[in-house]
Chain A
Amino acid sequence: MSNPLADMDKPDVIFCIGTNMTECHPVAATGIKRALANGAKLIVADPRHIVLADLADVYLPLRVGTDSALLLGMAHVIAREGLVDQAFMDARTTEGMAFLEHVERFPPEWAEEITGVPAADIEQAALWYGRAERGAIYYTLGVTEHICGVENVQGLCNLVLMTGNIGREGTGINPMRGQNNIQGAGDAGALPNNYPGFQPVTDPENQEKFEKLYGKKVDLENGITKVTALEMCGDQIRAMFIDGENTLVSDPDRAHCEKALRSLDFLVVADLFLTETAELADVVFPVAAWGEVDGTQTNTERRIQRLRAAVPSPGVARPDWWVISALAKRMGFQGFEYEGAEQVFNELCEVSPIYHGVDWDKVEEGAYQWPVPFDGHPGTPMLHSDEFVNGRGIFNLVEQRDPAETVDDDYPVWLTTGRRLASYHTRTQTGRSAGIDYLLSEESLEIHPDDVDEWGLADRSWAIMSSRRGSVRVRVKATKRSPRGTVFTTFSFADVPVNALTGGGYDPITQTAELKVCPVSVVPE
């Protein structure tokens, strides 16, 4: 997030797109509700009539995979109505003129054709955001889990740059991170293209720096993403070590994923439970859970916070850092002598420019939001207040692109996937917490009541849903939260492995899977 969570009740116009925040980030959503109580306007764009849509001043029910068209239509209106912040564009951006010309081609009527959202509503949303004193954008995976995820984010950046809604309290472009420490995992360098602190591996200076630190020359080329690695399993990739991920249930195209993991010569998994993925492993390491380990995690607003052990682990389960370093030592790797999480964290701070000034003892107070470039630095709650990291903000001339797969006679229905309030991902944790079953005991496929009738189904009946890759049997739930022609489910329940269906395409830049769009057929069992 460019801005802190504490800013969420401060905007006068809020634009939420592709974020089911009341279910996926419920505590953050309380900030938006407070902003509404203070009189803020809420624009919600989502294919499903989610709870946020109930609260919206204008709801934009776009067809799945048409975010770019919607954003281009909004940019057109902002430009046409003279709501551009010219001073901001002159001072802090580049390619602005080309962008303003570019969007002339995309009036709201054009966007209506593609998105299905009435042009008048696109117009209204654009006018509100364009006129905002403090306009803030919040988005989640609904924007990024597309083959055009990067372009969707660039489309949002274009709106921010043309209106100057950045670098001030209550504004900004704010992705809500989905997992407790997905931010920290990236910060720490668990990425194929970056050392800790997002230092590119392709930079020879970084190579040299880490050669000195680690005593090993690391390839100057980027590594490969997990998506590519799974493609190459059994071929170039012969062994894997997976820590704390139920890849088989959470990743797209389950059949492909299972075949890939089974084709490995050797698989090592570290986890809390014998997950579906761990069941395929040659060696399984038991790790300490939350509540049993000391360490840190970093939240969606870049706040570094302290995790503490309260109870011992079962049996001989050990913290992840211990397991990984023990294995490294056993393999003869150098530099893996550690006494505790604090020592590991301090080493990370030493090698990472964005954590460099972080003091373990002060992490206690949760006071640091990175970057914290030097000792005594207070942290940076808001990014981009004076300048962008790369100097000027660059407008991108994005266009609308179709999803990897589109509906046809065989697969006439759009499936979009997501999460629900009471369950978390593949339920390895929430599924084992007493009482959660009372709120959510089984998977269901949310279908508009008129479609339920038209497709020969009934509420709570069983349906077979198929894509080009696989089929699942799932219980039908009739609800107007789904629009006509679009159905919704989650990947929470192992007995309805919806990832057997998804995986039609990937963003060419980030290789993020298009989990939000998958053409399917839905028929009675």
Chain B
Amino acid sequence: MSDNIDGGGNGALSTMTLDGEDVGFTPGETVYEVSERYRREIPTLCYDERLEPFGGCRLCIVEVEGSHNPVASCTTKAAPGMKVTTKSGRLDMHRRVLLELVASENRDLDVDPMSGYASGEMATLLDRYDARTGRFLGMQSGTSHPDDPNPFILRDYENCISCFRCVRVCAEQEGDYAISVMNRGFGTQITTEFDGILKDSACTFCGQCIQTCPTGALADLKALASKDVPGETKLTRTICPYCGVGCSVDLMTRGDQVVGVLPAMDGPANHGALCVKGQFAFDFIGHKDRLDTPLVRGDDGQLHPATWDDALDKAAAGLLAAVDNHGRHSLYVVASGRAPTEAAYMMQKFVRAGLGTSYIDNCSRA
């Protein structure tokens, strides 16, 4: 499926024409990448900038002077002197028909945005090209897997359009190769090894497939469980609280509730990648076991709720008693490797400015 019509140019010129405008490019760039850089709006469905170009959906077609048929811009390398048109009535017509064909396979055109990062891509394009016609209604590919009992990933293949983004992200981005393709044509089925449930496959539940899926066929079950929580979904950029890699995430909240996590595609440490913990293990913060009040041990030997004032008084008195009776080297503090840096800074200042000691450590030795 190569559309490479690089006319043997040696890259010396490195300029081409985009909709009549002369533009520069770096040898090796695709026409799509150059067009993106110059803010052309070229529709795509099978494209994920982190993955190798695939050329499957054909929506990114452009016209190239000297070529009879439009070519897929994602797999066509820019060449010196190339004259490209990204927008025309002919292209719009082609794109609309392609979208109508894709939409014919897809029953549920309106996808809840909680489904995943890219889940609204197809619906958005259908609206943009006015392609919700049902013109090619008919056969469908893909069989859903409602029997997969995993609590994270919805597998509704009736909404699958065979763009293979899930298969590619699993292979290229994660290196897990848990998802594969079975059969061809209308028999096409995205599946796992031996067509079983995800838990029995190489799947690590990193959630990358649900975040790249453009139709919500693979969707975030944990986020969808909150789709009826009232309010607008708000995103807040922060960093994952688990290992030391420091993946950037966007926390999805509705009201005072965290309802899900989206990977940050521009995160400097992760570029959109996450693991099962960063993607799905977020709801401990709203757990009923959270401490919501200070506790003070009473005369009965039990811990009882207390006000901040009482708890601080009691704590200060207890710690100072040790210092007064046994000296400033009788108090030891342990800072957290999980809390923000400001907490650790404050802890070391507590012993140094307060007691003049370095009787402090963090949890790095065990």
Interface residues of A (CB under 8 A from B): 5-6, 22, 24-30, 33-34, 36-37, 176-193, 195-196, 201, 210, 214-219, 221-227, 229, 236-245, 247, 250-252, 265-266, 268, 271-274, 278-279, 281-287, 289-293, 295-301, 303-321, 324-328, 330-331, 333-336, 341, 344-345, 347-348, 365-367, 421-422, 424, 428-436, 438-439, 510-513, 515
Cβ distance B156 to chain A, nearest Cβ, rounded Å: 18
* 4 extra A-B contacts, CB within 8 A, seeds A26-B204, A180-B246: A236-B326, A284-B291, A286-B294, A306-B239
Given A300-B245, A429-B281: A201 in contact with B358 (beta carbons within 8 A): yes
Instruction: Please measure, in the bound complex, the distance between the C-alpha atom of A28 and the C-alpha atom of B238, giving whole angstroms.
Output: 18
In the complex, what residue of chain B is closest to A33 when comparing beta carbons? B175
Cβ distance A2 to chain B, nearest Cβ, rounded Å: 15
In the complex, what residue of chain B is closest to A184 when comparing beta carbons? B341
Given A25-B244, A434-B222: A244 in contact with B343 (beta carbons within 8 A): yes
In the complex, what residue of chain B is closest to A244 when comparing beta carbons? B336
Contact A190 B294 (CB under 8 A): no
The 9 closest A-B pairs by CB, nearest first: A315-B292, A33-B175, A299-B246, A244-B336, A295-B340, A223-B358, A177-B244, A320-B343, A435-B151
Instruction: Please measure, in the bound complex, the distance between the C-alpha atom of A212 and the C-alpha atom of B361, giving whole angstroms.
Output: 23
Size of the B side of the interface (Cβ < 8 Å), in residues, is 113
Contacts of A215 in B (CB 8 A): 353
Partner of B340, one of A184, A431, A515: A184
Contacts of A178 in B (CB 8 A): 243-244, 337
Cβ distance A318 to chain B, nearest Cβ, rounded Å: 8
Partner of B290, one of A179, A188, A314: A314
Partner of B246, one of A297, A319, A334: A297
Which candidate, B18-26, B53-61, B327-335, is the interface stretch facing chain A?
B327-335
Interface residues of B (CB under 8 A from A): 149-152, 172-175, 199, 204-206, 222, 234, 236-248, 251, 253, 256-258, 267-270, 273-278, 280-287, 289-297, 303, 308, 311-316, 318-323, 325-326, 329-366
Given A5-B269, A238-B331: A191 in contact with B346 (beta carbons within 8 A): no
Contact A191 B361 (CB under 8 A): yes
In the complex, what residue of chain A is closest to B343 when comparing beta carbons? A320
Given A216-B353, A236-B330, A429-B281: A324 in contact with B246 (beta carbons within 8 A): no
Cβ distance A142 to chain B, nearest Cβ, rounded Å: 15
Contact B360 A303 (CB under 8 A): no
8 contacts between A and B (CB under 8 A): A179-B244, A190-B345, A191-B361, A286-B290, A289-B290, A297-B239, A310-B234, A511-B365
Partner of B342, one of A224, A237, A345, A510: A345
Contact A186 B273 (CB under 8 A): no
Instruction: Please measure, in the bound complex, the distance between the C-alpha atom of A25 and the C-alpha atom of B258, giving whole angstroms.
Output: 24
Contact A320 B336 (CB under 8 A): yes
Partner of B345, one of A188, A238, A431: A188
Instruction: Please measure, in the bound complex, the distance between the C-alpha atom of A522 and the C-alpha atom of B366, giving whole angstroms.
Output: 24
In the complex, what residue of chain B is closest to A237 when comparing beta carbons? B332
Which residue among B242, B247, B248, B355 has the maximum number of chain A CB atoms within 10 Å of its CB? B242
Cβ distance B253 to chain A, nearest Cβ, rounded Å: 5
Contacts of B297 in A (CB 8 A): 281-283
Instruction: Please measure, in the bound complex, the distance between the C-alpha atom of A383 and the C-alpha atom of B247, giving whole angstroms.
Output: 21
Given A177-B244, A214-B353: A307 in contact with B239 (beta carbons within 8 A): yes
Contact A305 B246 (CB under 8 A): yes
Partner of B275, one of A229, A310, A421: A421
Cβ distance B254 to chain A, nearest Cβ, rounded Å: 10
Instruction: Please measure, in the bound complex, the distance between the C-alpha atom of A62 and the C-alpha atom of B332, giving whole angstroms.
Output: 39
Cβ distance A324 to chain B, nearest Cβ, rounded Å: 4
Contact A344 B346 (CB under 8 A): yes
Contact A223 B359 (CB under 8 A): yes
Instruction: Please measure, in the bound complex, the distance between the C-alpha atom of A243 and the C-alpha atom of B344, giving whole angstroms.
Output: 9
Contact A311 B341 (CB under 8 A): no
Contact B291 A242 (CB under 8 A): no
Contact A218 B326 (CB under 8 A): no
Contact B253 A316 (CB under 8 A): no
Contact A222 B205 (CB under 8 A): no
Instruction: Please measure, in the bound complex, the distance between the C-alpha atom of A316 and the C-alpha atom of B274, giving whole angstroms.
Output: 32
In the complex, what residue of chain A is closest to B294 when comparing beta carbons? A285
Contacts of A181 in B (CB 8 A): 336-341, 344
Instruction: Please measure, in the bound complex, the distance between the C-alpha atom of A321 and the C-alpha atom of B245, giving whole angstroms.
Output: 23
Contact B366 A250 (CB under 8 A): yes
Contacts of A334 in B (CB 8 A): 353
Contact B350 A328 (CB under 8 A): yes
Given A284-B291, A438-B151: A185 in contact with B281 (beta carbons within 8 A): no
Contact A24 B303 (CB under 8 A): no
Contact A512 B365 (CB under 8 A): yes
Contact B284 A320 (CB under 8 A): no
Cβ distance B37 to chain A, nearest Cβ, rounded Å: 20
